[in-house]
Structure 1
Amino acid sequence: MNMIRPLGELIRDWRQRRHLTQLDLAGLADTSTRHISFIETGRSLPSRAMLMRLADRLDVPLRERNVLMTAAGLAPMYSERRLDDPAMAQAQAAIDLVLAGHEPYPALAVDRHWNLVAANRALAPLLQGAAPALLQPPVNVLRLSLHPDGVAPRIVNLGQWRAHILHRLRHQADATGDAILAALYDELAAYPAPDDEPATGAPAVVVPLRLRTAMGELSFISTTTVFGTPMDITLAEIAIESFFPADAATAQALQTLAATAP
């Protein structure tokens, strides 16, 4: 049975996760330090408007904002529907449009735990050689990327790419407090590390993915797209990862592959 933690504890945890003092949060939320202190100790219960303001200033994910509302004895604000729900048809169509529009370059949509939601046709050729077990739904794209039986053996700059992925995942796990992401980080970090992996520090600002394929070595840079101001938890947690050719040879190879595909 899941127990709802006191609201004050939850607010304090989010404040500390964001490395803010009570004075910092009070200034951001246009209230007094005393009021923040009273909320955190349970001596005062914030209004719905104040609670939403605190959640906004603390950048609390929508899923966790519902938890805050419940802890305060209020009704949750955000719905959570499956992506195949008829009410999400417009969102699904938008995702499909973005993925298809990115061809002949690969793009995929993932949920908050990096499980594959959808992908365009350009992705499949890049996954050839991965163990079938890693391609069984739900496919975790980070596991698929770094697992010794996945794409990892074909990544030319595996050390650099692995450091980039782990840094990004660690930051995400710390920012959200998500236990599943933390466990995924521990799993991926336990995979064998290549000799060329950077020892310390954050990875470069732009880290290419250099991949050995039947078409030769392909090089990509990636961007992440999220939906702006979503009111549904599922939609808020979806990210689209788009890969762009980092050189002319990669662009030409993917255009040729698309032109010759059945």
Structure 2
Amino acid sequence: MTPVASGTTVSPSAPAGQGIGPLLRAWRVRRRISQLELALRADSSARHISFVETGRSKPSEEMVLRLAEHLEVPVRERNALLLAAGYAPRYPETALDDPALDALWDGMERLIRGYEPYPALVLDGLYRVRAANRGVAMFLEGVPEWLLQPPLNAMRLTLHPEGMAPRIRNLREWRGHLLEQMQRQIALQRSEELRALYEEVAAYPVPREAPDSEPEEPYPYFALPLRFEHEGRVLSFISSISTFNTPMDVTVAELAIETFLPADPATVKYLHSLGT
């Protein structure tokens, strides 16, 4: 996924009613793949890919799915491609509270509980917190009740000036990282809700005095850390996001488990001392 310039979004969707050709071409251009390269990957021909993109040939359902796979099209957008080609959607969108997902939720909750005392949470495609372990509690201390009303939104909680933002010691860096992450996601999804959330949190003011200093004792971080102040101590975390491999459901495809790994020995020691 390629970052999009600040303040702009790029959607690989085509105007409604133009069929699958413009949609496929937009995804291919987005992935920076030539017609020949895509044809070789999908066991087709550049001529056939060209005909599909220009509307001179209608791809089979199997070909649509094959091209979508090689273009790494998100599951939700694969349904859009199928509809544009005149086929029924292949991937269901199961409600989060559907009993069919009970075993999945049980597994995820066991996973994030087992990660304690380190923070971990489950997010949906709009950054709403769907589950969290006790390690997340330190991030919520001092946050006003109105920001904690369900559905709790991780982006809003992190970047709002009454949320975590005042205690993030490298706020400008971390804010830039989160906004870029949202831009990449917007580039892959036709979601007005996600776009509205981005515009909201990007507009939050950043205090002029927002700290952005180096730790007192520099540590060799291997990824951008979240440096968060808790009870007078500065804790350092490396964020990791996990998604499901080969999902066959839109809802499951958009779930993510975010874990915060301590980035230095002092943070490890402090978290264990809390007895979370």
TM-score by length of 2: 0.84
Relative to structure 1, the CA distance from residue 98 to residue 47 in structure 2 (aligned partners, 3 Å threshold; closer, same or farther) is same
Bigger RCO (CA 8 Å, 6+ sep): 2
Aligned residue for 1:122, secondary structure, equals: helix
**Which of 226, 229, 233 pairs up with 2:250?**
233
Structure-1 residue corresponding to 2:188: 175
Provide the rounded CA distance (Å) in 1 between the counterparts of 2:96 and 2:156: 23
Aligned residue for 1:9, secondary structure, equals: helix
1:205, distance to aligned residue in structure 2 (A): 6.4
1:66, distance to aligned residue in structure 2 (A): 1.2
List aligned pairs for 1:113-152, cutoff 5 A. 113-152=126-165
Q: Which runs of 5+ in 1 are unaligned?
A: 198-203
1:252, distance to aligned residue in structure 2 (A): 2.0
1:4, distance to aligned residue in structure 2 (A): 5.8
Structure-2 residue corresponding to 1:13: 26
Amino acid at match of 1:30: D
1:93 paired to 2:110: no
Contact 2:161-2:206 at 8 Å conserved across structures: no
State, as a whole percentage, how many aligned pairs show the same letter. Answer: 50
1:145, distance to aligned residue in structure 2 (A): 0.6
Provide the rounded CA distance (Å) in 1 between the counterparts of 2:96 and 2:102: 8
**Which of 240, 258, 262 pairs up with 1:223?**
240
Relative to structure 1, the CA distance from residue 205 to residue 19 in structure 2 (aligned partners, 3 Å threshold; closer, same or farther) is farther
Provide the rounded CA distance (Å) in 1 between the counterparts of 2:52 and 2:41: 15
1:5, distance to aligned residue in structure 2 (A): 5.0
Amino acid at match of 2:267: T
Structure-2 residue corresponding to 1:30: 43
Provide the rounded CA distance (Å) in 2 between the counterparts of 1:5 and 1:79: 24
Q: Aligned residue pairs: how many?
A: 252
Provide the rounded CA distance (Å) in 2 between the counterparts of 1:90 and 1:5: 41
Contact 2:121-2:131 at 8 Å conserved across structures: yes
1:100, distance to aligned residue in structure 2 (A): 0.6
Contact 1:158-1:194 at 8 Å conserved across structures: no
Aligned-pair RMSD on alpha carbons? 2.2
1:211 paired to 2:228: yes
Deviation sequence 1:144-197 (CA, Å, 0-9, x none)? 111111100010111111111122222222233544333333332222246677
1:215, distance to aligned residue in structure 2 (A): 6.0
Structure-2 residue corresponding to 1:256: 273
Amino acid at match of 2:23: L
1:230, distance to aligned residue in structure 2 (A): 1.8
Structure-1 residue corresponding to 2:8: none
**Which of 67, 80, 87 pairs up with 1:54?**
67
Aligned residue for 1:40, secondary structure, equals: helix
Q: Which runs of 5+ in 2 are unaligned?
A: 1-15, 213-220
1:20, distance to aligned residue in structure 2 (A): 2.6
Structure 1: 4+ residue segments shifted above 6 A: none
1:35, distance to aligned residue in structure 2 (A): 1.1
Provide the rounded CA distance (Å) in 2 between the counterparts of 1:101 and 1:4: 49
Structure-2 residue corresponding to 1:186: 199
Amino acid at match of 2:29: Q
1:112 paired to 2:129: no
Q: Which shows bigger deviation, 238-247 or 177-186?
A: 177-186
Relative to structure 1, the CA distance from residue 99 to residue 68 in structure 2 (aligned partners, 3 Å threshold; closer, same or farther) is same
Amino acid at match of 1:142: M
1:22, distance to aligned residue in structure 2 (A): 2.6
**Which of 82, 87, 90 pairs up with 1:74?**
87
